[in-house]
Amino acid sequence: MIDAHGTVLYVGKAKNIRKRVTSYTRPEGLPNRTARMIAATVTMEFVTTSTEPEALLLEANLIKRFRPFYNVLLRDDKSFPYILLTKGHPAPAIAKHRGARNRPGDFFGPFASAGSVNRTITALERAFFLRSCSDSIYESRTRPCLLFQIKRCSAPCTGEIALDDYNRMVDQARDFLCGKSTAIKDALLGQMQAASEMQDYEKAAVIRDRMAALSLIQSQHGVHPRNVEEADVFAIFQQGGINCIQSFFIRNHQNWGNRAHFPRADKSLDAGEVLGAFLAQFYDGKPVPKSIFLSHQVPDQEVLAEALSTRAERKVDIAVPKRGEKHDLVEHATRNAREAIERQLAESSSQLRLLKSLGEMLQLAGTPKRIEVYDNSHIMGTNAVGAMIVAGPEGFAKNQYRKFNIKSSETKAGDDTGMMREVLKRRFKRLLDENPRQNQNENAQTASETPWPDLVIVDGGLPQFNAAREVMTEIGVSDVPLLAVAKGLDRESGRELFHIAGREPFRLPPRDPVLYFVERLRDEAHRFAIGSHRARRSKDIGTTGLQEIPGVGPARKRALLHHFGTLKAIEQASLSDLESVPGIDARLAKAVYDYFHASG
């Protein structure tokens, strides 16, 4: 269903298209949501498929592509991280992996979050002393790195351990990740007791620490089902108009963590409808397990199971367990969903109060639902980057963040106001082209649902404010409220000066919650701008070399690389380490250090 501006309002499927469309022509008895959707629809497009499972998969794909307002939308669409044990190298490495699993090696997961993967890898390093460095760093090492000193690597790169012994520990780590944790711990316990009986207490202590690291991995992941080898668990909880779906990932009888999802859905939809629409989108492009356990029956459950079986090329069972260990897993997920939604409601309430107070303080027409904050970062005009962050009732909308590489020939190097002009001009010109103001979604409740900001904040004083106001007036968006936040005297936090049209510059009282809120927005924009600048600078230095640093020519570049081995090591080196390089004096060492550690 498509509106007058060509925006997709809704994507649905039906066995009988005529009957489905006819049901929309009888206005009596329709929910308000459906009536609003029909009133806005001016045209419809139809696609026929060979089977019902194929239609379900196509529906999920189109919903993710067009993100229609009247569909249930999965907001968090990131791929899940895995642990990778590499192959094809004399000393395999352990690493975090996200994306297509096309590297040679064994993948374990998915894990619920990058943090969960990082903690597990750290514990596995302590338990099995596996290397986590890249192959290029491995080949260039001439002495053990710091991880060897803190007993998180056995340093096969410099021959501190024989490759046969190292590969035995790799096999143990693989067995542990495959679910053979009891056998591994029993073997280590036997080794520890044998070392203790031989009075080799240092070796016994090392094995004890390895066992403690393995226990830590299991305790971090909580639930460990005995009778469920591979399954995903989903439980939904609804409260206050918010849907929370908690997902758990069980692999090799081990729980690899959980994640809370908050799909956008109309309040009239029940738990089963929301969960069913969520699942079809969730597995678009993600691996499907053998079993899926749900807290509620979902519409077309058999069709969904058939569609996922087709995608996985093996049978996939979808069930709502009523008793036993599987039911306990679903109940555990439901409790987590309820707790997550309670936290979300508390945070949203606080955020809404702050947004309302900010709107009142700035005398806006209403409570802002989308705030855009702009900042830029550079070093003496080089690698200049502009950044936009977005915030709303649900906090920071990170999937809406944007960065702008400053590239206009009219913008002079180091001209902050010129950079601000270029960023705002590019942003709002594109916004006018892609989303005209009359296409604004009046029913939007979050920052992600509307492209047009209710408030624009720029980091800077009166010059930045005037530059931003001039460029926005020039392109015809002068009705968007604009606020400039200048740092206080001596850049002191809490003494910021605010500039807004129609009022004299003013400050807020110290410890005012709105002041802290604006500072948090400004600091997040600053963090994102600096991160984008550093990423661009690192990319440039990787292509242009260290010669970009004033005073560093080919000879000194060779000296630095010979001493540290890699650009990454040079970037992480301390000032005293740089001064110890032959041919690098104190002045040049400081120039190199400042280049990599400038704050923006």
Summarize pLDDT for 166-219 with one digit per residue, the tens: 999 899 888 888 877 677 777 878 888 888 888 888 878 877 877 777 776 655
What span, in angstroms and rounded, lies between the C-alpha atoms of 207 and 72? 51
Together in a domain, 482 and 576: no
Residue 44 dihedral angles phi and psi, to the nearest 5° = -135, 150
Give the per-residue pLDDT at 381: 61
Other Cβ atoms within 10 Å of 373 Cβ, number: 28
Question: CB–CB of 377/385 below 8 Å?
Answer: yes
Within a domain: residue 69?
Answer: no
pLDDT digits (tens, 9 = 90+) for 287-315: 888 999 999 999 889 999 998 998 888 89
What span, in angstroms and rounded, lies between the C-alpha atoms of 241 and 352? 15
* CATH code for the domain of 446: 3.30.420.340
- Please check the confidence at residue 448 and state whether its pLDDT lies above 70: no
Together in a domain, 390 and 454: yes
Give the per-residue pLDDT at 94: 92
Within a domain: residue 309?
Answer: no
Together in a domain, 549 and 430: no
Beta-sheet strands, E only, within 177-253 = 230-239, 242-251
Question: CB–CB of 79/73 below 8 Å?
Answer: no
Other Cβ atoms within 10 Å of 27 Cβ, number: 10
Together in a domain, 525 and 402: yes
- Please check the confidence at residue 88 and state whether its pLDDT lies above 80: yes
What span, in angstroms and rounded, lies between the C-alpha atoms of 481 and 363? 10
From the list 529, 457, 522, 532, the residue with the least C-alpha distance to 491 is 522
What span, in angstroms and rounded, lies between the C-alpha atoms of 38 and 25? 9
Place of tokens 């009022």: 503
Together in a domain, 532 and 550: no
Together in a domain, 582 and 498: no
- Please check the confidence at residue 136 and state whether its pLDDT lies above 90: no
Domain end residue (candidates: 172, 187, 220): 220
Give the per-residue pLDDT at 600: 47
Question: CB–CB of 296/76 below 8 Å?
Answer: no
- Please tell me the total count of domains within the chain: 3
What span, in angstroms and rounded, lies between the C-alpha atoms of 95 and 135? 11
Domain end residue (candidates: 201, 220, 239): 220
Question: CB–CB of 483/363 below 8 Å?
Answer: no
Question: CB–CB of 586/572 below 8 Å?
Answer: no
What span, in angstroms and rounded, lies between the C-alpha atoms of 80 and 390? 24
pLDDT digits (tens, 9 = 90+) for 45-85: 999 888 888 888 888 888 888 888 888 887 665 677 888 99
- Please check the confidence at residue 124 and state whether its pLDDT lies above 90: no
Within a domain: residue 283?
Answer: no
Q: What percent of the chain has pLDDT over 90?
A: 20
Residue 213 buriedness (CB in 10 A; 0-12 / 13-18 / 19+): middle
Give the per-residue pLDDT at 199: 85
- Provide the 8-state DSSP code for 104: S
What span, in angstroms and rounded, lies between the C-alpha atoms of 370 and 350? 16
More confident residue, 450 or 528: 528
Question: CB–CB of 400/447 below 8 Å?
Answer: yes
Residue 135 dihedral angles phi and psi, to the nearest 5° = -65, -35
H/E run at residue 294 = strand 291-294
Give the per-residue pLDDT at 570: 81
Least confident of 146-150, 391-395, 552-556: 552-556
pLDDT digits (tens, 9 = 90+) for 487-530: 876 666 668 889 998 888 898 888 888 988 999 999 999 898 88
Backbone region of residue 581 per phi and psi (left: phi > 0; alpha: psi in -120 to 50; beta: other values): beta
Angle (CA) 436-442-448 rounded to 5° is 75
H/E run at residue 403 = strand 402-405
What span, in angstroms and rounded, lies between the C-alpha atoms of 330 and 296? 10
Together in a domain, 466 and 557: no
The parent domain of residue 98 ranges over 82-220
3-state SS, residue 538: helix
- Please check the confidence at residue 545 and state whether its pLDDT lies above 60: no
What span, in angstroms and rounded, lies between the C-alpha atoms of 114 and 112? 7
Six-digit token string for 383: 């690698």
Together in a domain, 172 and 213: yes
Give the per-residue pLDDT at 442: 59
Least confident of 123-127, 143-147, 557-561: 557-561
What DSSP string runs through 321-389? --SHHHHHHHHHHHHHHHHHHHHHHHHHHHHHHHHHHHHHHTT-SS--S-EEEEEEEEETTEEEEEEEE
Cα 539 to chain centroid distance, Å, stands at 21
How many residues are given for the chain? 600
Residue 394 dihedral angles phi and psi, to the nearest 5° = -100, 15
Least confident of 258-272, 446-460, 527-541: 527-541
Within a domain: residue 269?
Answer: no
Cα 577 to chain centroid distance, Å, stands at 35
- Please check the confidence at residue 444 and state whether its pLDDT lies above 70: no
3-state SS, residue 402: strand
The most distant pair of C-alpha atoms in the chain lies apart, rounded to whole Å, by: 86
Confidence at 258, pLDDT banded by 50, 70, 90: confident
Residues 6 or more apart whose CB falls under 8 angstroms from that of 332 comprise 223, 233, 248
Backbone region of residue 88 per phi and psi (left: phi > 0; alpha: psi in -120 to 50; beta: other values): left
Q: Angle formed by the axes of helices 201-220 and 114-128, to 10°?
A: 160
Confidence at 417, pLDDT banded by 50, 70, 90: confident
Together in a domain, 521 and 561: no
* CATH code for the domain of 554: 1.10.150.20
Q: Is the peptide bond before 509 cis (omega within 30 degrees of 0)?
A: no
- What is the torsional sign of CA 191, 197, 203, 204? positive
Give the per-residue pLDDT at 224: 61
Question: CB–CB of 85/106 below 8 Å?
Answer: yes
Confidence at 24, pLDDT banded by 50, 70, 90: confident
Within a domain: residue 513?
Answer: yes
Residue 377 dihedral angles phi and psi, to the nearest 5° = -145, 140
Within a domain: residue 111?
Answer: yes
Mean pLDDT of the chain: 83
The pTM of the full predicted model, rounded to 2 decimals, is 0.62
Q: What is the mean pLDDT of residues 429-436?
A: 83
Domain end residue (candidates: 536, 555, 574): 536
105-108 sheet: strands from edge to edge? 94-97, 82-86, 105-108
pLDDT digits (tens, 9 = 90+) for 94-106: 999 887 778 899 9
Q: SS in 3 state form for 461-526?
A: CHHHHHHHHHHHHHCCCCCCCEEEEECCHHHCCCCCEEEECCCCCECCCCCCHHHHHHHHHHHHHH
Residue 529 dihedral angles phi and psi, to the nearest 5° = -65, -45
Together in a domain, 550 and 529: no
- Please check the confidence at residue 542 and state whether its pLDDT lies above 60: no
What span, in angstroms and rounded, lies between the C-alpha atoms of 75 and 68? 12
Within a domain: residue 177?
Answer: yes
- Please check the confidence at residue 279 and state whether its pLDDT lies above 60: yes
Together in a domain, 550 and 526: no
Together in a domain, 401 and 488: yes
Within a domain: residue 212?
Answer: yes
Least confident of 169-178, 433-442, 587-596: 433-442
